[in-house]
Chains A and B, each alone.
Chain A
Amino acid sequence: MKAFARLLERLAFTPGRNAKLTLLSHYFRDTPDPDRGWALAALTGTLELRQVSPSLLRRLAGERVDEQLFALSYDFVGDLAETIALIWPDTTPGPDLPLSQAVATLRETGKLALPGAIAALLDRLTPPERLALLKLATGNLRVGVSARLARVALARTGQRSAEEIEEIWHGLTPPYLPLFDWLQGGERPLLSSAAPFRPVMLSTPVTPADLAALDPAEHVAEWKWDGIRVQAVAEGGLRKLYSRTGEDIGAAFPDLIEAMDFEGALDGELLVRRGDEVAPFADLQKRLNRKTTPRALLQSHPASLRLYDVLTWQGQDLRPLPLVQRRQALEAARLDPARIDLSPLLPFGTWDDLAALRAAPHAPVIEGVMIKRRDAPYVAGRPRGPWFKWKRDPMVVDAVLIYAQSGHGKRSGFYSDFTFALWEGEDLVPVGKAYFGFTDEELRELDRFVRKNTVQRFGPVRQLAPKLVVEVAFEGLNPSTRHRSGLAMRFPRISRIRWDKPAPEADRLETLRAML
Chain B
Amino acid sequence: MTGDIAAERIVFPTEAGLYCAPGGFHIDPLRPVARALVTHGHSDHARPGNGAVMATRQTLDIMAIRYGEDFAASQQAADGPTRIGDVTVSFHPAGHVLGSAQILIMPDNGPRILVSGDYCRTPNPVCQPWEPVPCDIFITEATFGLPIFRHPDPLTEAGRLLASMAEFPDRPHLVGAYALGKAQRMIALARAAGHDAPIAIHGALQRLCDYHVAQGIELGPLVPASDPGEARLVLAPPSAFASPWVQRFRDPVLSYASGWMVVRARARQRGIELPLVVSDHADWPQLTATIRELSPQEVWITHGAEDGLLRWCELAGIPARPLRLVGYEDEPE
Enumerate chain A interface residues (CB-CB to B < 8 A). 10, 12-16, 19, 22-23, 26, 65-66, 68-69, 72-73, 76-79, 82-83, 86-87, 90, 127, 406, 408-410, 412-414, 447, 451, 459-460
Contacts and interface: CB of A to CB of B under 8 A. Distances in A.
B77 interface: no
Contacts of B271: 406, 408, 412, 460
B262 A86 contact: yes
Contacts of B265: 77-79
Contacts of B148: 73, 76-77, 83, 86-87
B272 A86 contact: no
27 contacts: A13-B264, A13-B267, A13-B272, A13-B275, A26-B167, A66-B315, A68-B311, A69-B146, A69-B308, A72-B307, A72-B311, A73-B146, A76-B263, A76-B305, A77-B148, A78-B265, A82-B263, A87-B147, A127-B150, A406-B242, A408-B271, A410-B251, A412-B251, A412-B254, A413-B241, A413-B242, A413-B245
Nearest to B164: A10
B264 A12 contact: yes
Contacts of A451: 244
Interface residues of B, number: 42
B211 interface: no
B170 to A, nearest CB: 10
Interface string B237-265: 00001111111011111100000001111
Contacts of B315: 66
B274 A69 contact: no
B150 A22 contact: no
B328 interface: no
A229 to B, nearest CB: 32
Interface string B127-142: 0000000000000000
A81 to B, nearest CB: 10
Contact of A14 (B146, B244, B246, B273): B273
B67 interface: no
A460 B274 contact: no
A66 B312 CA distance: 9
B249 A412 contact: yes
Contacts of B252: 412
Contacts of A76: 146, 148, 263, 305
A13 B268 contact: yes
B168 interface: yes
Contacts of A22: 167-168
A413 B270 CA distance: 11
Contact of A79 (B253, B254, B264): B264
Contact of A412 (B149, B150, B246, B312): B246
